[in-house]
Structure formats: C-alpha cells, structure tokens
Amino acid sequence: QAGDLEEGSYVVIKGHACLIRDMSTLKVTRRGVQKVPIIGLDIFSGKKLEYICPTAAEMDVQNVEYIDYELMGFSLDGNEKTDLSLPDGPLGSAIREAKEDGKATSVKVASAL
C-alpha cells in the first residue's frame, strides 16, 4: 500500500520504474481520505515523476538489479555484450572518450522487473 512505502524504495509511477525521493506529509481530503504525494525519479531517464494517491492504494513495487560490467570495447553499431549499446548524448560521449583514452572503464546496467 502507498502508505507503507518509504523514501529510497522502488515503485512504478505512471508506468515507469522509479526511486522514491520524497514522500511529503499526508494530506486529508474533505471526505477524510488520507492521501500521500510520492515523488520519484525514473531510474532509466532521471525524469522526475509525481503521483498523489490514497494511503490505502495498492502500488506496484519494482525489483531493481544493478550489474557492473568492465567495458572491453565497443563498436558504433552496439556489437559485443550484444544486447547493450552506448547511450546517446553526453554520457555516451564520456564513456567513448574514456575508453579511447585507454582508461579502465566500467558501466553499471540497471534492470527493473
């Protein structure tokens, strides 16, 4: 139930696996229903999501697993560790530059079930 969740746990908000960052004080509606605002960060995009629901509402809790891999190399088409490719944007560029500079590089891969 939403009222039993804690900051730092994982939950599904609007279809996204999120890490709960804030659960503000309970609010009581005119009808006496207690509601809790839940603010979470999407573990894949970093996007902030907010959901307000009754404390008795059933919530989907996520099992999140992180695995560290040593980056041996990469190709532009994403081959080797064949189901992963470098992300777009600054993170992908930083990983690429570190590996090209000969730095020991590891990546952390998150999966949510």
- Residues 74, 48: Cα–Cα separation, whole Å: 31
pLDDT band (50, 70, 90) for residue 73:
low
Residues of CATH 2.30.30.30 domain(s) within the chain?
A: 2-54
Residues 6 or more apart in contact with residue 43 via CB below 8 angstroms: 10, 17, 18, 19, 64, 110, 112
| CATH of segment(s) 2-54 | 2.30.30.30
pTM: 0.66
* Mean pLDDT within 26-35: 79
- Residues 19, 21: Cα–Cα separation, whole Å: 6
* Mean pLDDT within 70-92: 68
